[in-house]
Structure 1
Amino acid sequence: MSDLKVAGFKSSEILETLGGAFGKYTETEKKAQIKKVNGIFELRIKNEEGKEGVWTIDLKKEGKVYQGPAKPKADVTIILSDDTFSQLAAGKLDGQKAFMTGKLKTKGNIMLATKLDGVLKVRVES
């Protein structure tokens, strides 16, 4: 899963852990998670140096995390800073609060974006 890790992005370590958690799922668990979320998240994360990294969480077809733009098209694109993503994943920041304060922006299905909190909790449980 090291293809998820990118130097200078704290988020990439979180996404690598999440990808590993998905990889440990049985086929039944993966199908249940896909059924529950039914969406593709494209994460556009900017680090402190201003560089942008793009990762995709596919919980519509494959149940995996990969680096790069969504294929097929994302249901929701979430744009945020590396720090904001780390806080969301750690449970220190609420997604709705981040959205309301402008720390998180979305394009596409905003209701699907609300499911990201639950998806990020998966890595904690694994």
Structure 2
Amino acid sequence: MPSTIVFHSLSGSKEFKEVLSGKKISSNLFTIFYKNKNNSDQNKEILLSCVAAKKLGNAVKRNRMRRRLKMATRKAIIEIKNNFKKKFKYAIFAKPKIYDENFQNIVNELTSKLRSI
């Protein structure tokens, strides 16, 4: 069984704004924003946050989207192993279609997008 991957979350609006000013990759299921880590963040293994905006639905729907996105991200990182760029901070924003999408499709899409970074 693969080892558990631990994410360190982005904290505070300042850090989110910094990542949002970086590069962006979009898909029909999510949007990935990423930017180089600061020197102070280098000691954190993986700096990543999954976000479901309030306009996507009630708390139950948003939490389900966030949970699915986090687990799919873990599986995608395990699949690409050494090709995952730990030198970046990531913010992954869910889109409405992710709620009903097949989980394996989410993993495959995330894997291909993370490889392209």
Do they fold alike, i.e. is TM over 0.5?
no
Q: What TM-score comes out, normalization by structure 1 length?
A: 0.28
The higher relative CO (CA closer than 8 Å, separation ≥ 6) is in 2
Superposition TM-score, scaled by structure 2 size? 0.30
